[in-house]
Chains A and B, each alone.
Chain A
Amino acid sequence: QVQLVESGGGVVQPGGSLRLSCAASGFTFSSNAMHWVRQAPGKGLEWVAFIRYDGSKTYYADSVKGRFTISRDNSKTMVYVQMNSLRAEDTAVYYCVKHGGSGWYLDNWGQGTLVTVSS
């Protein structure tokens, strides 16, 4: 079965950086696009970024564009998000999510990792 396990969350100061990782298994990783989605405490879901199956195309939410970079390593079945210039409003649980198909749906979600931006 599909498994997505995020890691790398923690507490970071405003202006700092953090890299989240997601280990994927149970499906043909190199054939599937991936997303990161976040959820601030007590708030709704916010899509963060997308990467095509081969890494050739990425999309970002306006709120993170220029600060976050999504990447992947198909040989390790890993997807990452490098987060720079972190702000308090980036505090959230970050979910690694498998792209479902041409309908732009998100069909498998990890359990999430918490990022707290605070001094």
Chain B
Amino acid sequence: QSVLTQPPAASGTPGQRVTISCSGSRSNIGDNPVSWYQQLPGTAPKLLLYTNNQRPSGVPDRFSGSKSGASASLAISGLQSEDEADYYCAAWDDSLSGVVFGGGTKLTVL
């Protein structure tokens, strides 16, 4: 059971906008910034967004993030086939004194 809650699956067609939610509590998302990771099939995870909505260099602006209270979301606009991957949210948890991850969302591009 993951500390952060994500839907196990999401899907969309090319060009669509999809969102993936991440729900936590005050001790993690509520009081700390959220990061998002993309894991393409058979590869290591890659940082997608940090500090809620900041993109590392090289990440397209089709990817955006937001946070409200103890929840966060990742939005992908102009969906492309290469976006098909697993997506994870994460945050520091003050109560656990550790990083906590969501269970991951498998995104399928139909």
Contacts and interface: CB of A to CB of B under 8 A. Distances in A.
A60 to B, nearest CB: 7
Q: What is the size category of the interface that chain B forms with chain A?
A: 20 to 34
B109 interface: no
B2 interface: yes
Contacts of A29: none
Contacts of A60: 98
A45 to B, nearest CB: 5
Contact of A105 (B2, B47, B97, B102): B47
The main secondary structure of chain B at its interface with chain A is: strand
Contacts, number: 71
A61 interface: yes
B98 A103 contact: no
Interface of B: 2, 32-33, 35, 37, 39, 44-47, 50-51, 56, 86, 88, 90-92, 96-104
18 contacts: A37-B99, A44-B101, A44-B103, A46-B101, A47-B98, A47-B99, A47-B100, A60-B98, A100-B35, A100-B50, A103-B32, A103-B33, A103-B51, A104-B33, A105-B35, A106-B45, A109-B45, A111-B44
